[in-house]
Amino acid sequence: MNNQTELYALIERMQHSDQAALGRFYDLTVSYVFGLAMRITSKPSLAEEVVNDVYLQAWRNRANYQASQAAPLAWLMMMTHSRAIDALRREATATQQQLPIADDFDAVDEHSLNQLEQLTQLEQTEQLAAALKLLNTQQRQWIMLAFYRGMSHQDIADYTGEPLGTVKTVLRRAQAILRTALTTTYPHGGIYE
């Protein structure tokens, strides 16, 4: 990492609830976090889950970060190591606790499926609403324009009068924040696939 000074500054901004700082922090460090997660888990899907957990933990614990105790990248690597080991343990436990498959395992219970779908949709709607609250006003408005009105990046740039590059950057950071929040809740897929 060439610019530790920028990482320290980004964490300080994150401590003041600057979500754009989290996006930049993610962009500068995600390759390191994913690399370590892959070395420990050896599974891309598990490593991606770990990455999402790490950045969500970094956001939640930003107020507790102390520069005197660890450099920003070291702080992230400690979280990554811990989360990756936890993910391996969860996976091993889940494998050990699997029940034998019944002969009619593939029979569909339409009644239960309908209730489950309704419950899942309600839960996902609530989770999406909570995740959208993590975005600043501009990010939230532009995500709404893109996903609910179907506007392209160029359409949003024309509509808002902002440069196309700015629109792309704001949307990419907003999506990173949403991805982190939603994949932590739905690590094996769900509303943000």
pLDDT tens by residue, 75-127: 988 999 989 988 888 887 755 555 555 555 555 555 545 555 555 565 666 77
Q: What are phi and psi of 11, to 5 degrees?
A: -65, -40
Contact assessment for residue 21 and residue 10, using Cβ atoms and an 8 Å cutoff: yes
The structural domains of the chain, with segments of one domain joined by +, span 4-95, 112-185
Alpha-carbon gap, residue 145 to 137, rounded angstroms: 12
- Taking 50 as the pLDDT cut, the residues of the chain under it are 1, 112, 188-193
pLDDT in the model for residue 112 = 47
4-95 carries CATH number 1.10.1740.10: yes
pLDDT in the model for residue 9 = 93
pLDDT in the model for residue 115 = 57
Fold exhibited by the domain 112-185: Arc Repressor Mutant, subunit A (1.10.10)
